[in-house]
Structure 1
Amino acid sequence: MTPHTLQGRSEAEVTWFQRRDTLKAAAAWVAMGGMPVAMAQQRSNVVELVGDVLLNGQRLRPQQTIQTGDEILTGPASRLVFVIGNAAFHVRQNSRLSVERGTTLNAVSLLRLLTGAVVSVFGRGANRAIVTPTLTAGIRGTGVYTEVMPNQRSYFCNCYGTVDMAAQADRALSVSSYHQSFWGEVEPKDGRFLTPAGAINHTDEELEFLARLIGQRTAWQIAGKLGVKDGKGYMDDKPGQMHPAMVLPVR
């Protein structure tokens, strides 16, 4: 497995994809045709459910379908993997998020994360966004990791793809081939609300796992090589490269 850095998370939380039951569930999902066939056969879009998860305040059952407009709450030692349209999600323990509707019932327009963490892979499509208490990320088709810390400071990693980042008045365009990470600050840090971060609390393999559920590959799988996992977002470390949050004006 690729090297990774943990901050306030356990090893088990980022190696969930290695469990035998998880691998079997993912293989079955792909073998049965994924989301298009699940919709046609009116099957559940839940790939895996572990522990106690509430859907709109009621305990989620494996055979249920998660739709846009739903609210999800995961308990301790619980997690959820599901697919909506051409987007796949892994919701970690102690998380609360809502999935808001796009142009159709099976199109996600907005993922609002209030607590906890979620790993997401989005296929190309209409503009979508992830919103936390301190930042907004406009998604254009990408793989990302989002976490809200206990103090409401938000962490966001554009693992690959293009994302429009915003925190208060700060704006940045994130174009990443290998993990470009940001903090959405509660209070300004050196005059900025959007600041650079390192790559923490998620792995390449998690993104690869979710991408496979929707028939995609990550940027590094396509390139056939890994980048420098320093949070700057580049496949190759070259002189003069700067994190986009470093070029924001100091207010």
Structure 2
Amino acid sequence: MTDEAFEARRRALLRWLGAGFFMLGARPAAHAGALGDAPGPLPPGRSIYRIDGDVLVNGQTADEQTRIGAGDRIQTGPGSQVVFAVGQDAFILRERSELRLSGGGGLIVHGLRVVTGALLSVFGKREHEVQTQFATIGIRGTGVYVEAEAERSYVCTCYGRTQITAEGAPEQTESIVSVHHDAPRYISGEGERRIQPAPVKNHTDEELALIEALTGRTAPFSFTMPGRGSGGENY
């Protein structure tokens, strides 16, 4: 994602926050205040919080009533993204992305494969595994941002614990404990050191707060909505 495209996405998110899009169903419109004003979990039977642009679920055009669960494939077109939750896990899938969910069926997701594009995720306390072409990431109760690029993968452990292993080189692995975007990594498909330090990029604390709220949790950092005092960082 280019800097211009990411900035456009960030501005759109902030417009949703400031315009009261945290309202769900018949709830009163939330004031753009502290994280406590963010939405609660989605209503029963609903997976998608917001769609922008062209989104497919299992090859079919999705809308906000489309259900998503283990075993599903989600794709986004150019200039598109989808914000959704499955059980105790929640996601923002960026434009030009493909995500495959695996698990025991229904709302129990154990594994994810980011085929292309970028995914911001927050997870409940169960163990999960996220895969890209170049990396396997073991996760439990964590916020993580992943980009699947053509020649490398990008992983930011936003908070929590991850175990990153280079695909095809199981001896190259790194355990990360992060409080606040402490140790982003690039993972490549070749070389003596396939896991390398990386910058923090292309995701925001506001986005993490939003998707945590969709599961009924709060993000583990101080956060105030934009325009109402100090807020989370934007990267």
How would you bin the TM-score normalised by the shorter chain?
Answer: 0.7 to 0.9
Give the 3 Å change call, closer, same or farther, for CA 202–106 of structure 1 in structure 2: same
Secondary structure, counterpart of 1:154 in structure 2: strand
Q: Please give the alpha-carbon distance, in whole angstroms, between the structure 2 residues aligned to 1:22 and 1:171.
A: 41
Aligned residues: 213
Which shows bigger deviation, 158-167 or 43-52?
A: 43-52
Give the 3 Å change call, closer, same or farther, for CA 145–199 of structure 1 in structure 2: same
Q: Aligned AA for 1:80? A: V
Superposition pairs of residues 4-153 of structure 1, within 5 angstroms: 9-20=5-16, 24-28=20-24, 31=27, 34-35=41-42, 37-38=43-44, 43-102=45-104, 105-125=106-126, 127-149=127-149, 151-153=150-152
Partner of 2:189: 186
Q: Please give the alpha-carbon distance, in whole angstroms, between the structure 2 residues aligned to 1:229 and 1:21.
A: 14
Q: Aligned AA for 1:202? A: H
Q: Please give the alpha-carbon distance, in whole angstroms, between the structure 2 residues aligned to 1:67 and 1:138.
A: 20
Partners of 2:85 and 2:91 within 8 A in 1: yes
Could you tell me how far 1:27 is from its partner in structure 2? 2.6
Could you tell me how far 1:112 is from its partner in structure 2? 0.3
Q: Please give the alpha-carbon distance, in whole angstroms, between the structure 2 residues aligned to 1:101 and 1:128.
A: 10
Partner of 2:159: 160
Partners of 2:205 and 2:233 within 8 A in 1: no
Partners of 1:154 and 1:184 within 8 A in 2: yes
Q: Aligned AA for 2:24? A: A
Partners of 1:182 and 1:197 within 8 A in 2: yes
Runs of 4+ residues over 6 Å off in structure 1: 225-230
Q: Please give the alpha-carbon distance, in whole angstroms, between the structure 2 residues aligned to 1:22 and 1:96.
A: 29
Partners of 1:178 and 1:228 within 8 A in 2: no
Q: Percent identity?
A: 35
Give the 3 Å change call, closer, same or farther, for CA 88–116 of structure 1 in structure 2: same
Give the 3 Å change call, closer, same or farther, for CA 27–173 of structure 1 in structure 2: same
Give the 3 Å change call, closer, same or farther, for CA 141–60 of structure 1 in structure 2: same
Q: Aligned AA for 2:115? A: L
Partner of 1:236: none
Deviations 1:194-227, CA, capped at 9 Å, x for gaps: 11111111111111111111122222239xx999
Q: Please give the alpha-carbon distance, in whole angstroms, between the structure 1 residues aligned to 2:14 and 2:232.
A: 22
Partners of 2:49 and 2:83 within 8 A in 1: yes
Unaligned runs of 5+ in 2: 28-38, 224-229
Unaligned runs of 5+ in 1: 1-5, 231-251
Secondary structure, counterpart of 1:63 in structure 2: coil
Give the 3 Å change call, closer, same or farther, for CA 121–16 of structure 1 in structure 2: farther
Could you tell me how far 1:24 is from its partner in structure 2? 4.1
Alignment RMSD: 2.7
Partner of 2:34: none
Secondary structure, counterpart of 1:142 in structure 2: strand
Partner of 1:245: none
Normalized per residue, the structure richer in helix is: 1
TM-score, L = length of structure 2: 0.81
TM-score, L = length of structure 1: 0.76
Partners of 1:160 and 1:218 within 8 A in 2: no
Partners of 1:26 and 1:213 within 8 A in 2: no
Give the 3 Å change call, closer, same or farther, for CA 30–139 of structure 1 in structure 2: farther
Could you tell me how far 1:123 is from its partner in structure 2? 1.7
Secondary structure, counterpart of 1:20 in structure 2: helix
